[in-house]
Structure 1
Amino acid sequence: MTTEHPIFKMAFSRVYPMYVQKAEGKGRTRDEVDKIICWLTGYSTAELEKQVEREVDFQTFFAQSPAINPNVSLIKGVVCGVRVEEVEDPLMRNIRYLDKLVDELAKGKAMEKILR
């Protein structure tokens, strides 16, 4: 039996400002963070705002996403010591993909390279 990771039940709206803060701290913008999240999940900007307002957890956030981008398999690398492409749990892998994309943004990578 597998146990659910605590982040699955964490409100996306609690982590979202941290993504924005990380990006803004490196001279990037909230709009760029939103663009990355929308690219990954298929949400429109308005739908993303609604999900944040509704304070849905990560599990719900990804379960309700219109369409995970088909190019996610091109996202490679390490986040928090974990190789994202090797994460077995689909939800955790999506969360790690999002972390990796925000990391790339904060490190100054060009948007066209982030949005594969």
Structure 2
Amino acid sequence: MVTAGHCTSGNGAILNPSQSDYIGPVVRDNWKNGHGSVKLSGQSYYSGGLALYRVNPGSSASARIYKGGKTSSSSRAVQDFWRRWAQEGDKVCTGGMMTGEKCGWKVADTQVTFRYSGGTTARDTVVAN
């Protein structure tokens, strides 16, 4: 499964939202906490911030998007995904455990480098407003 790189720690574990069930280990990511985007092994380009994790036998995970904030148990199935890079003008939804689902975003720019005040740098990101 894939999740946001900033939501994991390198070679860490994926737990369910209540932190009570170990789902599996992070097997590859391109986000270094405190630094930002890094290139995946063998790649010559940055690809935002993502983490690939393995779902262990006996655990379950599915492509779902949170509809509420951190204390909500409400979610819905992800119905589709792009088969191409984001392009200016695309409409998107975002979602995360902390913020829940937010739709109505419109892609304004792609391949943006964003530097946070603490020094973390996200490369090749998509900006939507």
Q: TM-score, normalised by structure 1?
A: 0.27
Write 1 or 2 for the structure with the bigger share of helix: 1
Bigger RCO of structures 1 and 2 (CA < 8 A, at least 6 apart):
1
Instruction: Please tell me whether Structure 1 or Structure 2 has the larger radius of gyration of its CA atoms.
Output: 2
Q: TM-score, normalised by structure 2?
A: 0.25
Write 1 or 2 for the structure with the bigger share of strand: 2
